[in-house]
Amino acid sequence: MRVRSGGYSNQVESNINGECWAIDPSGSFFALSAGVGNHARETSERVCQSIMKLLLPHRSQIDTMAADTRPDSRQMLMSSLCGAMIRTERELFERAEQSPETKTMAATCDLLYLANGSVYIGHVGNNRVFLLRGDTGRQLTIDHTVYEYLKAQGRREEDINHQSYKTRLTRALGMSGGAQIDTLQVDLRQGDRLVICSSNVHFCFQNATHLAQLYRTMDPQKASEFLVRYALEHGAEGQASVICIEISDPGMRTGALETDSRITALEKICFFRNLSYQEMLQVMPITFERSIEPGVEIIHEGDNGEELYILVSGKCEVTNDGVRIACIESGSSFGEMSLVDRQPRSATVKSLEPCRLLVIRAADFERLTVSGPLAVNLLWNVTHELSDRLRKASETIRQQGKLLLAHHIV
């Protein structure tokens, strides 16, 4: 994978609004941090230095995990990135114990790792990561602020905008201990550009497409300098920081199905409907592909359910007690209730031709439902689906009862 990159921060005298960024010379790891409080610059520098110190000695092992298509390797990779951020947070607390004057040390952090045609992201705070593709762009991360928290709770926009504390952080390294870190995965194409910018910068852009139009085709280093100057000319105060990354050659992706295609497939599943694009990106690390030869049993009647399947291509048959009851075409899903109840399978599904499957394991799905806005939305979708199925079952029983009663009367 070949990339070009550059980063820039303007110089400021104050330590209150301190930011720091770091780029691995090999082009694999990128970090941007903004400190909070009276020791902001020291804190952000410690965050970036610590993360690079923790990750760089293990780069070959992380590269190996990125090249491995097994789902456990993907989870280990994401755990490695999160582990470096969590360990860094622990160091902030240790520093605060040694020097009471630094007890309020906290910082936002975005960590990116690029390998095998994909970017893996660890995000906490209100910096933002954007993906620019041609003249358009997408914001990949969700701000961890009061505004986004209230929005996720269903509060009206006009009510939120009246809150004076709407921009206050709800998550950061060192804020409360055990920071909850969003993890995302996005597949990349040749010519894609990634932009990581601090909150002092991104509020100056109208949206991600506006950012793409400002960036144009500039060299990454020149683009980072230009975007910081643009922010300062349009209201940014204090320090402003930007990292720009251009994908010259994405290399070979371990998964053949691109991120947007995976999202399109998942949107058809009841549990993932009505999630935002950023929330769907948080689901991406738990999805993986599986190729199946003709005549292979994918699930067997009576076995405990552990996985959800989406048939990307191919055809399968469904049998019950050896009797064929249905045929599954590409684009269909089966086994979704196994993510919730893990009950024995009610039928057998066998491939009729070569098949490609998108798979989610129940254990990985459960980890997404522990806490946070994404967990709330997933559990709401699960509750809605179970309620809908219960209502349909009750209606079926009611109709059968009427038929039995009518038969008895006759």
What is the spatial distance between Cα 384 and Cα 369, in angstroms, rounded to a whole number?
Answer: 15
Task: Give the pLDDT score at 292.
Answer: 93
Of the candidates 250, 249, 243, the one whose C-alpha atom is nearest the C-alpha of residue 6 is: 243
Res. 281 pLDDT band, cuts 50 70 90: very high
Of the candidates 271, 223, 170, 238, the one whose C-alpha atom is nearest the C-alpha of residue 14 is: 238
- The domain limits of the chain are 2-249, 259-367
Highest mean pLDDT of the ranges 66-75, 83-92, 384-393: 83-92
For residue range 186-225, what is the model confidence (pLDDT) as tens digits?
999 999 999 999 998 999 999 999 999 999 889 999 999 9
Token couple for 219: 């060299």
Please list, in sequence order, all residues whose beta carbon lies within 8 angstroms of the beta carbon of residue 120, skipping any fewer than 6 positions away. 66, 77, 78, 81, 112, 113, 114, 183, 184, 185, 285
Res. 319 pLDDT band, cuts 50 70 90: very high
Alpha helices by DSSP H, 56-165: 59-67, 71-98, 146-152, 157-161
Whether the predicted model's global pTM rises above the 0.75 cut: yes
Task: Give the pLDDT score at 213.
Answer: 95
Q: Please tell me the number of Cα atoms within 13 Å of 95 on its side-chain side.
A: 18
The mean-pLDDT minimum among 229-233, 290-294, 340-344 falls in 340-344
Task: Give the pLDDT score at 103.
Answer: 62
The CATH number that domain 2-249 falls under is 3.60.40.10
Of the candidates 77, 85, 78, 184, the one whose C-alpha atom is nearest the C-alpha of residue 139 is: 184
The mean-pLDDT minimum among 172-176, 242-246, 329-333, 385-389 falls in 385-389
Q: Are 387 and 340 in contact (CB under 8 A)?
A: no
The mean-pLDDT minimum among 129-133, 275-279, 337-341, 358-362 falls in 337-341
Alpha helices by DSSP H, 234-325: 259-266, 277-283
Q: Are 293 and 354 in contact (CB under 8 A)?
A: yes
| CATH fold for the domain made of 259-367 | Jelly Rolls (2.60.120)
Res. 122 pLDDT band, cuts 50 70 90: very high
Is pLDDT above 80 for 176?
no
Tell me the percentage of the chain whose pLDDT exceeds 90.
54
Res. 38 pLDDT band, cuts 50 70 90: confident
